[in-house]
């Protein structure tokens, strides 16, 4: 919830002078009590202020109550993304599997010589190739990857909700976060189901990331 100028002024007055009556707050603002009544109601309902009959308003010190929707819409990909793990197109499937274990990730992004995104490798892509195939040190990943232009991606500025929606729609576990450079997509991050879970947890009062 965004506070207006007058609500912020009231909050400051109560912080410094509370407990203070509505009448006294109005005097300090050169206004009448009736004018600031809605503001006081909003500040009290939102949890910024506590009101005690015959004592007045005082600063609650509590975190303001924000709607879950407000919180969720404020979450941006850039605030929750992880570091991407990228590999070259000619890396072997065998080496890609080693990378996945070493880097402890569930998907790898494949880039060309200019470092632009060309593909995605998931755990199952690698498992599928490995089944019944003992030459995985000879197969380059570009042969088995899901390739551009079929890669679903997002940007740092997108909301986490938009990213989560894409992952659900396409039934995939991760999205590369990209910068569109015109001639190609530069990979700057990675959004996974784990990031979405962390964001979900951060909405609960007692959890700070
Ligand atoms: P897994 O295959 O391990 O279950 P995913 O569900 O992420 O993991 O991947 C399913 C398929 O979708 C794989 O073939 C993978 O290459 C592809 N894929 C994964 N991420 C993306 C993406 N961001 N854009 C397009 N395709 C993707």
Q: How many CB atoms lie within 10 A of CB 208?
A: 7
Q: How far apart are CA 71 and CA 68, in angstroms?
A: 5
Predicted TM-score (pTM) above 0.75 = no
Residues 162-207 pLDDT 10s: 999 999 999 999 999 999 999 999 999 999 999 999 998 887 754 4
Residues 96-144 pLDDT 10s: 999 999 999 999 999 999 999 999 999 999 999 999 888 999 999 999 9
Q: What beta strand segments (E) does the chain contain?
A: 49-52, 56-59, 86-88, 107-111, 117-122, 146-147, 174-180, 185-192
Q: If you measure from the C-alpha of residue 127 to the centroid of ligand 1, how many angstroms do you get, rounded to a whole number?
A: 13
Nearest of 83, 89, 100 to residue 146 by alpha carbon:
89
Q: If you measure from the C-alpha of residue 177 to the centroid of ligand 1, how many angstroms do you get, rounded to a whole number?
A: 15
- Of all protein residues, the one whose alpha carbon is nearest to atom 25 of ligand 1 is 151
The SS3 assignment for 14 reads helix
**What's the token pair of residue 128?**
């599928």
More confident residue, 199 or 65: 199
Q: Is 151 exposed, middle or buried (0-12, 13-18, 19+ CB in 10 A)?
A: buried
Is the beta carbon of 96 within 6 A of some atom in ligand 1? no
All structural domains of the chain? 5-62 (1.10.10.10), 72-200 (3.10.580.10)
Phi, psi of 192 (to 5 degrees): -125, 175
């Amino acid at each position: 919830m965004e506070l207006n100028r007058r609500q912020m002024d009231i909050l400051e007055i109560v912080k410094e002078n509370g407990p203070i009556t509505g009448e006294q707050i109005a005097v300090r603002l050169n206004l009448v009590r009736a004018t600031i009544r809605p503001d006081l109601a909003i500040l009290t309902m939102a949890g910024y202020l506590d009101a005690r009959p015959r004592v007045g308003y005082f600063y609650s010190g509590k975190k303001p109550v924000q709607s879950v929707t407000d919180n969720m819409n404020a979450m941006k990909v850039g605030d929750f993304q992880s570091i991407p793990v990228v590999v070259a197109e000619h890396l072997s499937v065998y080496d890609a599997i080693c990378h996945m274990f070493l880097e402890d990730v569930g998907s790898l992004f494949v880039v060309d010589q200019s470092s632009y995104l060309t593909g995605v490798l998931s755990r199952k892509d690698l498992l599928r190739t490995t089944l019944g195939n003992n030459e995985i040190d000879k197969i380059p990943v570009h042969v088995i990857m899901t390739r551009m232009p079929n890669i679903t991606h997002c940007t740092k500025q997108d909301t986490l909700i938009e990213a989560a929606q894409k992952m659900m729609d396409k039934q995939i576990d991760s999205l590369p976060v990209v910068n569109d450079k015109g001639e190609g997509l530069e990979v700057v991050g990675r959004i996974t189901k784990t990031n979405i879970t962390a964001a979900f947890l951060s909405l609960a009062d007692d959890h700070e990331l």
